[in-house]
Amino acid sequence: MKAHYKRYILKFRYPGGTSRGVLREKETWFLFLSDGNRTGVGECGLFRGLSSDDQPDYEDQLKFLCKRINKNEILSVESLKCFPSIQMGYETALLSLKSEDPFQLFPSPFTRGLDKIPINGLVWMGDRSYMKAQIEEKIAQGFDCIKLKIGTLDFIEEYSLLKEIRNNYSAEKITLRLDANGAFAPDGVMDKLKSLSDLEIHSIEQPIASGQAEAMRELCINSPIPIALDEELIGVIKKEERIALLDKIMPNYLILKPSLLGGFKSCEDWIALAQERSIGWWVTSALESNIGLNAIAQWTFSLSVKNHQGLGTGNLFTNNFESPMCVSKGNLYFDINQNCEIPNI
C-alpha cells in the first residue's frame, strides 16, 4: 500500500461569523491510499485554533505516517489518537480503499437513495439584518430546526431577534438551537439563560468557554435551557478522562465532531458513555469539504439517528468538490445519480 497527502484551502462563499472571529477560508488536508488497483481518500479536517492537534509539527506527522505506510508497516488507527484529525483521515481512507466505490463507506438505505437524515439549518453571526435574512432563507428552504451562532451582537439585540422568530414560529413549527462557542462569562450567564428560556430554546452549546468544569457543572444543574458540550470534549482522549468529565458535568447533550474527536470509533466510544448516563447527542460536521462530510453523513446514518444532525455545511465553500450529498427541505440525501471521482488536487 502506498500513501501520500495534500494540503487544500477551502474558500468560504460568504464570511462565516463566530464568537472566535470571522472565517473566510479553511485549511484542510487529504490522505490518499493506493493498493495498485484502487485508491481511497480520507480528509484530515484540521481546524486551526480549535483542533487539539493544531501543532507546528502537524505536517511532519502526516509525512511520518505516509513514510511508515510506504514501508508496509502495520499501523492501527488508535496509534494516531494524539492527532485526532489525522486519525479521522486515516480511518476514512482505509474504509474508502476497501470499498468498491471510494465514496460509499457505509452502505445503507441512505447510500441507496432510499432514506434521509434530518439536519438543522445553520445561521452564522453577523449584524441583525444579515442574521434575519439567513433565518428567513432557511425557513423558506424547509428547515424546521435552526441553529444560530450567538455571542457577537449585544445580548439584548440577539434576544430581540430570537424573540421575533419565536413570535412568528412556535416551538412546534421551528426548533431553535443556539451555539455560543463559549462566548459568555460565567458571571451573568445564568441571567442570559433565564431570559432565553422564555423563547422555548431546544438547547445551547457551550455557553461558557471550555476548561471551567465546576462552573459548567453548576450551569447544567441550574440552567433552564438544556446544555450541550462541544469544545469541552476536544482533547479528552483517555476513557477514564472522558468518564470523569461526563460524571462531573453531566450535560444534557454532547456534540460529536469526528474530525475533532478522533474519528468514528472514538465518537462511538463517547456515545456509549453518554448512553450509559442518559445523555443525548448529535453529530456535527466541522467545516470539512464534501469528502469529509460525505463520510461523516454515512456513518451518522449507520447510528440510526432520528433527531436533527448538524451536517448542512456542504454549500459553504466556492471551491468544494463534487459530492453525492444534497439538501432538500431540511434533510440530507445521497444522490445515487451523482458520479464522483477522487479529486486530483
Residue ranges of the chain assigned to CATH 3.30.390.10: 2-98
Q: 44-74: per-residue pLDDT in tens?
A: 999 999 999 999 999 999 999 999 999 999 8
**Residue 38 DSSP SS3:** coil
pLDDT interval class at 340 (50, 70, 90): confident
Q: What is the pLDDT of residue 39?
A: 95
Q: Cα–Cα distances in Å, from 41 out to 10, 103, 229, 251, 339?
A: 17, 9, 30, 35, 16
C-alpha triplet 170, 203, 28: angle, nearest 5°: 115
Question: What is the mean pLDDT of the segment spanning 140-169?
Answer: 93
Q: 161-201: per-residue pLDDT in tens?
A: 999 999 999 999 999 999 999 999 999 999 999 999 999 99
Q: What are phi and psi of 176, to 5 degrees?
A: -110, 120
Q: Cα–Cα distances in Å, from 68 out to 4, 52, 182?
A: 11, 23, 39
pLDDT interval class at 19 (50, 70, 90): low
Q: What is the pLDDT of residue 315?
A: 84
Q: 85-125: per-residue pLDDT in tens?
A: 999 999 999 999 999 999 999 999 999 999 999 999 999 88
Q: What is the pLDDT of residue 15?
A: 79
Q: What is the pLDDT of residue 125?
A: 82
Residue ranges of the chain assigned to CATH 3.20.20.120: 117-334
The CA distance from 53 to 39, in Å, is: 26
Q: What is the pLDDT of residue 157?
A: 93
pLDDT interval class at 20 (50, 70, 90): low
Q: What are phi and psi of 179, to 5 degrees?
A: -130, 110
The CA distance from 114 to 81, in Å, is: 35
Q: What is the pLDDT of residue 210?
A: 96
Would you say residue 213 has pLDDT above 80? yes
Tell the CATH superfamily of the 117-334 domain. Enolase-like C-terminal domain (3.20.20.120)
pLDDT interval class at 228 (50, 70, 90): very high
Q: 256-303: per-residue pLDDT in tens?
A: 999 999 999 999 999 999 999 999 999 999 999 999 999 999 999 999
Would you say residue 248 has pLDDT above 90? yes
21-34 sheet: strands from edge to edge: 2-18, 21-34, 39-44
Q: 293-323: per-residue pLDDT in tens?
A: 999 999 999 999 999 999 987 789 999 998 8
Active site residues: 149, 257
| 307-335 as b/e: b if 16+ CB within 10 A | ebbbbbbbebbeebbebbbebeebbbbbe
Q: What is the pLDDT of residue 153?
A: 84
The CA distance from 304 to 333, in Å, is: 15
CATH code matching the domain that covers 2-98, chosen among 3.40.50.970, 1.20.120.1200, 3.90.1150.10, 3.30.390.10: 3.30.390.10
pLDDT interval class at 344 (50, 70, 90): confident
Question: What is the mean pLDDT of the segment spanning 129-140?
Answer: 93
Would you say residue 223 has pLDDT above 80? yes
